[in-house]
Amino acid sequence: MSAVTTTQVSRNDMAAWRAAILAWYDAHGRSLPFRGVRDPYLILVSEVMAQQTQIARVADAWRAFTSRYPTVAALAAADQADVIREWRGLGYNRRALNLWRAARAIVDDHGGAVPRTVADLEALPGVGPYTARAVAAIAYGTPVGAVDTNVRRVLARTTTGSLDGFTVRWLQELADGAVPADRAADWTYAVMDVGARFCRPNRPDCAPCPAAAWCLYASAVGAGAAAGERSSHTARARQPPGRFSATTRWLRGRILDRLRDGAPGAWLGLEAPIGVHDAAAVRMSLRTLAADGLAELHPDEPLTARLPVG
């Protein structure tokens, strides 16, 4: 089978490949509360939440967050401490502040309307190349390809037979060229779902994949590569996992949860140890949280902090 690229296959082949993926998506795509909405702000929230977070966890959080802050103006006017509280359970808490700052930038610099262009979207705090293209494609129907890890696997394996040997620029050009002009939003979700359901990092399920008939990986090396990936996956699975509670990320999360539980605006003294982390580790994590804008340190009392006020 030939690779699905804009230079190596006919328009009919490209159209058939896209049609197969979209047909599968129409029948089997994941049903999520933010799919089907076209409000650019609501889409921006969902895409920021989906950064580094499993999509199943995003659904309930998105409902709660957008119920509390239903418009970009509402989020821009919110107290940052309240936004951090509302983000509880999603992790990577800097995203909450970046989203709040993005809302303020949208109100101040764009008249309250989420920008339409990829360049203007990328200029917002916390919005990178993937999120900018996802919002442009889903909210505005712009034919640009949003390349996350799922999409990267689908496009790379289909066109090259592996996950190596190409540049980021080449893959982005391929992704952009693959987007159907009339279904940019559906296509964005469809390729993500194919990557998550079939084109997994380990043990990809090639046989039922709607892209299999055009995929170099599935047709040429799929069986052998899948077996190799199973062996590698099994070997990694046998390694004892590290204790998450021993990580700085765990400690930062526990500290933030305690600050969230505190009275608004009140200082909270933190007793050490927290888990296996001593007072020095707690102090260091507090400093990094403050540097990120997620906490405010008491000027005189050690190990005392609160969520940022204002």
Hey, which residues are catalytic here? 47
Torsion over CA of 247, 147, 110 and 98, rounded to 10 degrees?
0
Task: Tell me the residue type at 100.
Answer: W
3-state secondary structure of 269: strand
Alpha carbon separation from 176 to 6, 151, 170, 179 (Å, rounded): 10, 12, 10, 6
- Contact yes or no for 65/86 (Cβ under 8 A): yes
- Say how far apart CA 300 and CA 298 lie, in whole Å: 6
Nearest CA to 175 out of 144, 203, 200 is that of: 144
The identity of residue 25, as a single letter, is Y
Instruction: Dig out the tokens for 285 from the structure.
Output: 């994590």
